[in-house]
Structure 1
Amino acid sequence: MATAPFICDVEASEESLRADVSSHQLRHRVCSYSLLQVLVGVLAVLVLALTGGVIWMKFQDCPEEIWHVRFIGTNTTFTAPRTQNYMISGMVDAERDDKKCPHLFKLHHIHDTQINDIRKLNISQKFQNINVVLQEGARLSVQLNCDSKINETSSELRIYSRHCNLS
């Protein structure tokens, strides 16, 4: 007996076909999915797995913010938790006397005894460095080249970890 959506094989004795025998007395009933249903099910699982993989890879490409600072005073530091690529963006603004301060700040990282400048910019200019490689334990430092105070309400530094190689 073939019925949609199942193909069922019903084995019954001659006695079970009599009207006075109940249906629960059927000896054996085997139902199976049709080939089309199996193919559709396998295809659906495959599509879901591929979609999940694509979504997971997309989130891996996105930066993850690991540090956000509002500056306090004239200096702040960040220590890299592991060796990898980072994206650094932000802006430094200072309350300054234009005659005493040439409007520059320096963002550099220190690893062991080496100091490497990442950025040297005018104050109040937004910046973004996409592929900064920091070794584990390296420290980032933002310093002004004068004794002005950093404007805490308009200055910020955001550091994102990158889980992929950027081109």
Structure 2
Amino acid sequence: MAATAKRPLAASDIEFLGALRDELVTQDSCGNRDPRFWTVVERCEEPCWSEQAEFWALVDDDGDVVGRVDYEIETCDLRCVPSREGRKVVEDTLFLTLRECREHIARNRHNYKCPATYAQTAWRSPQFERLIGILQQIDWESLAERSDDDGR
């Protein structure tokens, strides 16, 4: 595996990190503790017990939902599966800020079924918790000033 090339921390990096810190500490927590991150959730149909069913999905032999009805019916070529509306986390979505997650949804809404932001907590990940703590607590502006002093 090739090593990633190293470079010095640029003034634009420090500016980005300072702005990210400000956003991380002022954004709505959505009732979640740190360290938190956001993902996209979308509507889905999920099988359930018939007592909990909101509708019955008509499923073909390949497992594809081809329709839905309000009550269980007998059919020869389709299975009638009790189902309800649910939400699922969309794979491969992770955002450090609520704003970025909302912007992603606005740009990509056409790829999802009723998308929404969803806050999660990574409290079981000590490395992520430390990283978010560093991003939130470091005085990035003073680091930029020291970098300017060193460059003179």
TM-score between the two structures when normalised by the length of structure 1: 0.24
Which has a greater percent of helix? 2
Determine which structure has greater relative contact order: mean sequence separation of CA pairs < 8 Å that are 6+ residues apart, divided by chain length.
2
TM-score between the two structures when normalised by the length of structure 2: 0.25
- The structure whose Rg is larger is 1
